[in-house]
Every structure is written in structure tokens, then in C-alpha cells.
Amino acid sequence: MNDTVIRGRLLAFHRRPEHAQDHDAYVYEENGAIRIRDGRVMSTGSFEALGPLPDGILVQDHRPYLLMPGFIDCHAHFPQVQIIGSFGAELLDWLNEYTFPAELAYGDPVHARTMAAAFLDSLIRNGTTSVAAFCSVHPQSVQAFFEAAHTRNMATVAGKVMMDRNAPAGLLDTAQRGYDETLALIEDWHGRGRQSVAITPRFAITSTPAQLEAASALKELYPECPVQTHLSENLDEIRLAANLYPQDEDYLGVYQRYGLLGERTLLGHSIHLSPREIATLVESRSVAVFCPTSNLFLGSGLFDYKRNQARNMRIATATDIGGGTSYSMLKTMDEAYKIVALQGPKLSPLESFWQITRGNAEALSLDSELGTLETGTYADIVVLNASATPEMALRMQRAQTLSEELFVLQTMGDDRAVAEVYLAGSAAKSAMS
Ligand code: GUN
Ligand code: ZN
């Protein structure tokens, strides 16, 4: 028998907390434990409730740290690891000045492998156990990414960006090549181990109508594959999209006309939306992906998290590396909190931690596997220390509730607050240092 037990204070959500005191939304065990078999959660609860353990069973004792489902990042670009923190431009200039030149290098499989490993290890160090990632236009970059994720037994969603205009020649495919290469990647990787292939037209500006048609045909052929793209991040981007697709009423209308919306569609940013676009997002059950550090860094705008949630919009959160400035979902929610605070009622710590675990798993339609620590799901676990730095330890001396502890983690924490990370039951963070 290959069981392990992980001990610590245990926290997992079974639904979205509706307010700051909604203590029915989660399970918390002070003396908690997770029993794991074959990489999956066999049981959770108090350590005593596990009953007598067989001799020789491995018990990893993380008390007094907090155990939670690993964090999930719903939008990031792995070929942008070397351009995080590039100064001074808004979205379209930033893409042309920094992003596209960096992505040109990902036709080289050696470079792609090196960067895929660095990207995933940085996420893991920060407590992220799953990511929805954009690769470059080169299929080699997707191969490199999935090989690195598969080796780590890390569940990911990823895709080759389809782009056939408005970028340097070395980054362009064609409608047909984008289709063929995505199809080959789906056949090779979708469902292999823990990997899912996303149909990934970068955005309306870099795809011709013929290419969006090809993406649509792929979605029809593989309805189980997620679709990921960008929507309404920046006002110049919206104007350009309107010029390129003059027949559509609005930006979302472009994706809608090509049948690209639906439960598995992830729309990065979705900041500047008309009432019609909001209604269409909600009705189609597509997911708006809130990328707070990126939206502030590029000066893109303030995502209307609370109001969109009240409208029943499905929402995910994400780092958007490298427009985003941190690999940490703690820092991401720290910035999300500030954006929400500028617009009205604040985001509670309970809601934040629901969002980056179960909430993001639900947004990816992967909550039967991830984000909950329910029996039978993968044992992807983050171990959190809210006293990881001297400053945090001082602050924690005056923290009295779980919510306060979570808020300290979110406001002051980063990779140093992540004591350990388990991927399918195996220690991953300590194994790399
Ligand atoms: N829109 C299209 N491509 C990108 C990208 O790489 N980053 C961001 N932030 N927005 C985009
Ligand atoms: Zn993006």
C-alpha cells in the first residue's frame, strides 16, 4: 500500500462564501489530516478521525501550518517569463516592443524547454498547482510545455496561440496551419496524464476571419477542449478590433459569431464591456478572467468583479504572466482586493481564497478533479505559513481569526509563505530546492 498522510490545519471550501462571516462555506479542521492514495485524496478530516494507521505509513507533519487545495492560475503566458516588468507601454505597444520579440525565440525547442521548466517551477514555488497557459505560435513550445507539466504530474490547460496577422512574420501561422497544428496537439496531448489542450486564438486582432472560422471548427470537433483568448483589455485594442471586424456589434460579438463562446471559454481580461456583452457572457456561461496585477501594470483598467459576480458572470482570476507582475496568486488577490475596494464593497479574505482554489477550478470546469480536496480528487496541496517573514510573524501576533490569517497571507505573503506544495500527493517544492 502506498498511502501517505499529511497533517496540518486544514481549510477547503465547498461553495463561494457570500459574505465575510460566511463560515458555512468551508470546512476547517484545527488538527486536520489528508490521507492520500495513488495521488488522490482518500479522506480528509481530523487526524483522530483517520483511525489507527498502518505501520510504516508516511506521515508528513506540517502543523501548525495551513493546508489548502493548491492554487489555480487561469491565464498566463509561459513565453513571457523573460519580459515581466518591461517598462512603459500600454497593451498594443507592449506586445510589439517586448512580447512578440521574446516569443520569436520559442521555435527553438531547447529554449522552450528551459523556459517551460522555469515557468512551471516558479508557479509551484508560489503555491500554484494548475495553470491555464498560452504557449507561442510554435507547436514546439507546446510540446515543451506539456512535457514539463507531465514530468511534474501537474494538471495544466495549454494551447498553441493561433495568430495569422498583425505580428512579425516569424510568429504567424495561417488559418490552415493553426488548425492542423492545434489538431495534432489535441490528438497528442489532450487527456494524456493531467494535460488538456485549449484551442487558443490569441485575440481578434491577430486572427483573420478565416482563422477564427478554423478555431470554431476545432471547437465543434472537440467540444470538450477549452477555448482561451483575450477580450476588451484596452481601449485601443477594442477600437482596432472594431476596425478589423466592422460587421460585429462589439468585440465579444466577433467571438460569438464564430461560435467560440460557452462553458469552457476563458476570456482574458474582459474589462471594458457593454451591457450587451455582459448579458452575452452571462447567458453563454463563458468565463471572464480577472488579471489584477496585469491590468494595473499595463494601465488597462479596473475589472468590475463584484458587479459582474452579482450579474451571475462566471469569473476566474489569474496572474497573466508576463503582463502580470507576480507568479503568486496571493499577490494577485492582494491587487484584486485593491481594485475591488476602489469600486465598492470589499472582497473578503474567505472569498479570495475560495476564488483561487475551488472558484478557479469551477471556472475551468475541473472542480471534480481540482480545488476542493474532496475524496477522489487529486492531492494537489499548498502548505501555508502566515508567519513566514519577521514582518508577517509580528502581524500574526495580533491575528485572532482564520480570516485575519488569510488576509495576512494575501496582503503580506508571497512564495516565502508557501512552505510546501504537493502535486498529486508528491512533495514538489522541497524537491526542487
Ligand atoms: N492580448 C493579446 N495577447 C496578449 C498578451 O500576450 N498579453 C496580454 N496582457 N494581452 C494580450
Ligand atoms: Zn494574456
Relative to the CA of 134, which ligand 1 atom is closest? 6
**CB of 77 closer than 6 angstroms to any ligand 1 atom:** yes
**pLDDT over 90, % of the chain:** 98
What is the CA(189)–ligand 2 centre distance, in A? 22
Cβ-proximal residues to 126 (8 Å cutoff; 6+ apart), any chain: 71, 326, 327, 328, 329, 330, 414, 415, 418
CA distance 368 to 240: 39
Each residue's pLDDT tens digit, 242-282? 999 999 999 999 999 999 999 999 999 999 999 999 999 99
The pLDDT assigned to 199 comes to 99
- Are 297 and 332 a contacting pair, CB within 8 Å? no
If DSSP codes are grouped into helix, strand and coil, which group holds residue 322? coil
Which residues of the chain register pLDDT less than 50? none
Please state, in angstroms and as integers, the Cα–Cα distance from residue 386 to each residue in 415, 428, 429, following that order. 11, 20, 17
- Are 25 and 13 a contacting pair, CB within 8 Å? yes
Cβ-proximal residues to 177 (8 Å cutoff; 6+ apart), any chain: none
CA distance 13 to 199: 30
CA distance 351 to 224: 28
Cβ-proximal residues to 274 (8 Å cutoff; 6+ apart), any chain: 250
The pLDDT assigned to 89 comes to 87
CA distance 378 to 152: 14
Q: pTM (2 decimals)? A: 0.98
The pLDDT assigned to 357 comes to 98
What is the CA(57)–ligand 1 centre distance, in A? 47
CA distance 78 to 269: 17
**CB of 125 closer than 6 angstroms to any ligand 1 atom:** no
List the shell of residues around ion ligand 2, using CB closer than 5 Å: 268
- On the 0-12 / 13-18 / 19+ scale of CB atoms within 10 A, 426 is middle
Each residue's pLDDT tens digit, 344-396? 999 999 999 999 999 999 999 999 999 999 999 999 999 999 999 999 999 99
What is the CA(230)–ligand 2 centre distance, in A? 6
The pLDDT assigned to 41 comes to 98
**CB of 75 closer than 6 angstroms to any ligand 1 atom:** no
Residue 304, C-alpha cell as written in the block? 468590475
Q: Give the 3-state DSSP-derived string for 250-272, with helices as H, strands as E and coil as C.
A: CHHHHHHHCCCCCCCEEEEECCC
The pLDDT assigned to 27 comes to 98
Q: Closest by alpha carbon to 332, among 294, 383, 360, 380?
A: 294
Q: Closest by alpha carbon to 35, among 3, 62, 63, 11?
A: 3
What is the CA(229)–ligand 2 centre distance, in A? 7
Cβ-proximal residues to 132 (8 Å cutoff; 6+ apart), any chain: 73, 74, 75, 76, 156, 157, 158, 198, 226, 228, 266, 318, 364
Relative to the CA of 80, which ligand 1 atom is closest? 6
Q: 139-151 and 175-189 helices cross at what angle (nearest 10)? A: 20
Strand 128-134 versus strand 155-159 pairing type: parallel
Cα 4 to its chain centre, rounded Å, is: 27
The pLDDT assigned to 1 comes to 60
